[in-house]
Amino acid sequence: MRSAVTVCLVPEARQGPFVFHEGLDAGCRAAVELGFDGVEIFPESAAGFEGSGLAHCLATHGLTLAAVGSGAGWVKHKLHLCHPEPTVRAQAVSFVGDLVDRAGELGAPVIVGSMQGRSEGAMAREQAIPLLVEALHVLGDRAARHGQVLLYEPLNRYETNLFNRQADAAECIKAHGLTTVKLLCDLFHMNIEEADMPAALVGCGDLVGHVHWADSNRRAIGFGHTAVGPVVAALARIDYHGFLSAEVFPDPTSLTAARQSVESFRAFTKG
Ligand code: LER
Ligand code: MN
């Protein structure tokens, strides 16, 4: 397993669960100094991302791009994939799709987390799920053109009413032949929704494509009360070799959260 840390490039997400907020170069430099293997970037859009000098920055620092978040489409533009308005849904697919292409060129997968949206108003959940599935097909196929998967992230009940538990999302992925989609298992969301986090991970098996390395209170692992040993043992049991990516609040500071994240990564993975 490999370690990663989040770098947020979106000022509107300053209060969000991301470790570094001081720009790409500062985030990459800190990640390297602390010994992370990779960074997970939360960019404003594909366009901003393209001009950000990310490829150069990664090469300079010898870092891997672990994944790219697409949530700015929601945070900045209120787009999502299950919106009642077809034009807004199309804009959401286009926003994520452009990121899939840019991230794909850099060898990384894109995350559909907040951009999945939720069913509300006249949009019943039974209508929203097929819209989500259709979008995952389109975006997953686009990722596959770059040799990547698309990462779908079940969120806790306060953020979506589409899929909250890993097993339900896995069932949907299998039932609809979404072969280019894998799960992002965020330990913060799982702590809220799963009865047994290790069992949930084992149940997903090779559908686990990425992990958000966050404690029960969304602080760095070790600053909350999740029993992480059995979680990491479950990941080892399913032969997970992907990233444990720290998507946590910069609490008490970015540096302390980052250091705690990488130290807990080493302690639990013996990495
Ligand atoms: C949102 O709560 C989250 O976990 C993010 O990774 C979604 O983009
Ligand atoms: Mn997450």
Query: Does residue 264 line the site of ligand 1, with CB under 6 A?
Result: no
pLDDT in the model for residue 271? 58
210 CA from centroid of ligand 2 (Å)? 10
pLDDT tier at 260 (50, 70, 90 boundaries)? very high
The length of the chain is 271
pLDDT in the model for residue 189? 98
Domain that holds residue 28: 2-269
97 vs 30, 38, 62, 130, 255, CA distance in Å? 29, 22, 27, 18, 32
CA-to-CA distance for 201 and 206, rounded, in angstroms?
Answer: 9
Query: What CATH number corresponds to the domain at position 155?
Result: 3.20.20.150
**Nearest CA, atom 7, ligand 1:** 113
Q: How many domains does the chain have?
A: 1
**What percentage of the chain exceeds 90 in pLDDT?**
94
- What DSSP string describes 39-96? EEEE-S-HHHHHTTTHHHHHHHHT-EEEEEE-THHHHTT---TT-SSHHHHHHHHHHH
The residues with which 4 forms a beta bridge, in sequence order, are 38, 245
Query: Does residue 114 line the site of ligand 1, with CB under 6 A?
Result: yes
3-state secondary structure 63-76: CEEEEEECCHHHHC
Q: Is the pTM of this model over 0.85?
A: yes
Which atom of ligand 1 lies at the shortest distance from residue 112's CA?
Answer: 8
- Residue-wise pLDDT for 60-78, tens only, equals 999 999 999 999 999 999 9
Q: For residue 106, what are its two tokens?
A: 């850099």
- Asked whether the predicted pLDDT for residue 53 surpasses 90, the reply is no
Mean pLDDT of the chain: 96
* Ligand that lies nearest to the alpha carbon of residue 70, given by its number in the listed order: 1
CA-to-CA distance for 240 and 200, rounded, in angstroms?
Answer: 14
Query: Does residue 119 line the site of ligand 1, with CB under 6 A?
Result: no
Which atom of ligand 1 lies at the shortest distance from residue 69's CA?
Answer: 8
- Residue-wise pLDDT for 85-116, tens only, equals 999 999 999 999 999 999 999 999 999 999 99
Mean pLDDT of 112-137: 96
